[in-house]
C-alpha cells in the first residue's frame, strides 16, 4: 500500500461527495444515524468495513475505496506517532 504524505481523513473527502445533500438525508439513505455520519464527516470516527460497503452502494464507488482511504490515513498517523523500540526477529533455522 502506498502511503501518501499527510492524507486527509476520509470524512473530509466524503463531505465533498455529499455537498449537495444534507447530513440527515445522507444518513437516512445510508441506513445509519445522523450522529454516526456526522462523526465520520467531522473526523471523529473512521470508516469501518460496513460503512465502506454502505458508501460504495450509495455512491457507486468500488468496495474498499473508503476503507483504503481510512487505512492510509491511520497508517500515516501511526508512523508519525510511533516511538516504540523494535528488534529484528531472526529467522529460525530448520
* CATH code for position 31: 1.10.260.40
The answer to the question of residue 91 being in a domain is no
- What would the DSSP string read from start to end of 9-73? PHHHHHHHHTTTS-HHHHHHHHTS-HHHHHHHHTTSS---HHHHHHHHHHHTPPTTHHHHHHHHH
Least confident of 3-7, 48-52, 54-58: 3-7
The answer to the question of residue 2 being in a domain is no
Residues 47, 40 contacting (CB under 8 angstroms): yes
Statement: the pTM of the whole predicted model exceeds 0.75: yes
What is the arithmetic mean of pLDDT over 35-61?
Answer: 98
Output the nine-digit C-alpha cell for 79.
508512523
Domain count, the chain: 1
- Give the confidence band of 54 by pLDDT, cuts at 50, 70, 90: very high
For residue 15, the enclosing domain spans 10-81
The answer to the question of residue 86 being in a domain is no
pLDDT tens track for 61-89 = 999 999 999 999 999 999 999 999 999 99
- Give the confidence band of 94 by pLDDT, cuts at 50, 70, 90: low
The answer to the question of residue 60 being in a domain is yes
Distance, CA of 29 to CA of 42 (rounded, Å): 19
The answer to the question of residue 29 being in a domain is yes
Amino acid at each position: 500500500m502506498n502511503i501518501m504524505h499527510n492524507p486527509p481523513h476520509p470524512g473530509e473527502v466524503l463531505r465533498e461527495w455529499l455537498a449537495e445533500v444534507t447530513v440527515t438525508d445522507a444518513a437516512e439513505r445510508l441506513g445509519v444515524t445522523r450522529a454516526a455520519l456526522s462523526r465520520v464527516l467531522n473526523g471523529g470516527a473512521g470508516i469501518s468495513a460496513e460503512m465502506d460497503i454502505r458508501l460504495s452502494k450509495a455512491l457507486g464507488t468500488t468496495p474498499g475505496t473508503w476503507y483504503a482511504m481510512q487505512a492510509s490515513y491511520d497508517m500515516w498517523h501511526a508512523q508519525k506517532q510511533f516511538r516504540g523500540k523494535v528488534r529484528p526477529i531472526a529467522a529460525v533455522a530448520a
